[in-house]
Amino acid sequence: MSIAKNLAALRAQVPEGVQIVAVSKFHPVEALREAYDAGQRVFGENRVQELLVKAGQLPDDVQWHMIGHLQTNKVRALVPRVTMIESVDSLRLLQLIGREACSVRKEVDVLLQLHVAQEETKTGFSVEELLATLVTGEIEAVKGVRIRGLMAMASNTDDAAQVEREFQTVADTFTTIREEFYPDTEVFNVLSMGMSHDWPLAVRHGATHIRVGSSIFGNREY
Ligand SMILES: *Cc1c(COP(=O)(O)O)cnc(C)c1O
């Protein structure tokens, strides 16, 4: 199957209004161009260096989403090129992104990453930690960023009920945060969850963005 055909098949299944973030990590720029030619404009990468190299080789109307753990020493290079940073997993990182964004007179869209999966390896705020941090007002105080919503990954398991519980926890947290902290704005409206194998469950639980790699580009060779 070609990338264009994979994309067409995916688009036929995904409900209207749900944004597909094409996760192109580890795939060569030719693969991204094929997706671009098939109309895809939103791409997700998990390493800063790779995102920057690819951004230099694709047209300017591509929207680049950073979806991987972001080291603080890479923030400065990333901020000018990125559209949305989905993987903000600490207040300190958010503050640094804000500072760099202000210094290049930009506002960066960000998502706060929630940790709901069983695996310890996955990063993000716990629900309690995120709510407690929001209450202090320190997140709202950061200039140069627009808090657009939440990002999360479910556990890597065949237990669909477990995955659905995790997605529902994220959705409930999203609603709570919007009602308590962003009631008068349309800006907090992004819920990014679901990957190739579990996106239908994520959509059922309210995902507005799904991050799909292997179903579009094939398996990755690390
Ligand atoms: C790699 C990755 C994806 C896409 O995974 P696939 O299984 O290839 O669809 C989604 N989200 C994050 C954070 C990733 O690192």
Choose one of 51, 121, 195 to mutate for the ligand 1 pocket test, by most ligand atoms within 8 angstroms of C-beta. Answer: 195
Question: CA-to-CA distance for 114 and 125, rounded, in angstroms?
Answer: 5
User: What confidence score (pLDDT) does residue 121 get?
Assistant: 76
- Measured CA to CA in angstroms, residue 83 lies from 101, 145, 146, 171, 175 at distances of 11, 11, 11, 23, 24
Output the CA 191–ligand 1 centroid distance in Å: 15
Ligand 1 atom closest to the Cα of residue 23 is 4
> Average pLDDT, stretch 143-152?
98
- Reported as a single tens digit per residue, the pLDDT across 45-97 is 999 999 999 999 999 999 999 999 999 999 999 999 999 999 999 999 999 99
Domain boundaries, the chain: 3-217
Output the CA 141–ligand 1 centroid distance in Å: 31
> Average pLDDT, stretch 102-108?
97
State yes or no: pLDDT of 222 exceeds 70. Answer: no
Protein residues whose CB sits closer than 6 Å to any atom of ligand 1: 23, 25, 46, 67-68, 153, 195-196, 211-215
Choose one of 25, 67, 123 to mutate for the ligand 1 pocket test, by most ligand atoms within 8 angstroms of C-beta. Answer: 67
Output the CA 152–ligand 1 centroid distance in Å: 11
User: What confidence score (pLDDT) does residue 147 get?
Assistant: 98
- Reported as a single tens digit per residue, the pLDDT across 111-143 is 999 999 998 777 899 999 999 999 999 999 999
User: What confidence score (pLDDT) does residue 1 get?
Assistant: 67
Ligand 1 atom closest to the Cα of residue 212 is 9
Give me the CATH topology for the region 3-217: TIM Barrel (3.20.20)
User: What confidence score (pLDDT) does residue 120 get?
Assistant: 79
**What is the DSSP annotation of the chain?**
--HHHHHHHHHHHSPTTPEEEEE-TTS-HHHHHHHHHTT--EEEES-HHHHHHHHHHS-TTPEEEE-S---GGGHHHHTTT-SEEEEE--HHHHHHHHHHHHHTT--EEEEEEEE-SS-TTS--B-HHHHHHHHHTTTTTT-SSEEEEEEEEE--SSS-HHHHHHHHHHHHHHHHHHHHHH-TT-SS--EEEE--TTTHHHHHHTT-SEEEE-HHHH-----
Q: Which two tokens stand for residue 150?
A: 């939440």
- Reported as a single tens digit per residue, the pLDDT across 156-177 is 999 999 999 999 999 999 999 9
